[in-house]
Amino acid sequence: MRSTGRTIDGGGAAFLGAALMALGGCATQPADDPEIKAVSTVEYRCEDGTRLGIWFEPDTAIITENGGETLILPQKLAGSGIWYGTDQFDFRGKGDQATWTSGSRPPTECAVEKAPPA
């Protein structure tokens, strides 16, 4: 998949997910399967209230911001940790901590949102 930093609307995100599953040779899984969701998506909560759902691919990150707009960001060369970005969006992190920059808004610090104990 070639990343361009484009955005995908809600319907496009569903299509993208289905296409990725088909291209990867994966069996179709129910969207609400908690095992698949836990493995596939990492949830981040940021200091400014932004919530990010991120699916990491080998050379891209598919990021859903606040449950709406979906972005495909190409991987960048990071000295340490991870870095995905375009001219308008930037996600950098190490361990459970990250920094998210969206458009002209100032960068915000984010952390992996842990699931509450059962």
pLDDT in tens, 16-68: 554 444 434 333 444 555 544 444 689 999 999 999 999 998 899 999 999 99
Q: List, for residues 63-93, the tens digit of each pLDDT value.
A: 999 999 899 999 999 989 999 999 999 999 9
pLDDT of residue 98: 97
Q: Is residue 118 part of a domain?
A: no
Q: Please state the domain count of the chain.
A: 1
Euclidean distance between CA atoms 26 and 72, whole angstroms: 20
The answer to whether residue 81 sits within a structural domain is yes
Instruction: State the pLDDT at residue 11.
Output: 52
44 located within any domain: yes
Flag whether 117 is in a domain. no
φ, ψ for residue 21, nearest 5 deg:
-65, -45
The CATH number assigned to the domain holding 41 equals 2.40.128.200
Flag whether 82 is in a domain.
yes
Higher-scoring residue by pLDDT: 38, 113: 113
Please report which helix (H) or strand (E) contains residue 101, including its range. Answer: strand 97-102
Name the residue range of residue 102's domain.
Answer: 7-112
Start-end of H helices in 1-118: 10-23, 34-40
The b/e string for 37-52 (b: 16+ C-beta within 10 A; e otherwise) is eeebebbbebeeeeeb
2 domain residue, yes or no: no
C-alpha angle 118/40/15, rounded to 5°? 125
| Structure confidence at residue 107 (pLDDT) | 97
- Give the predicted TM-score (pTM) of the model: 0.66
In this prediction, residue 32 carries a pLDDT of 56
- pLDDT score of 69: 86
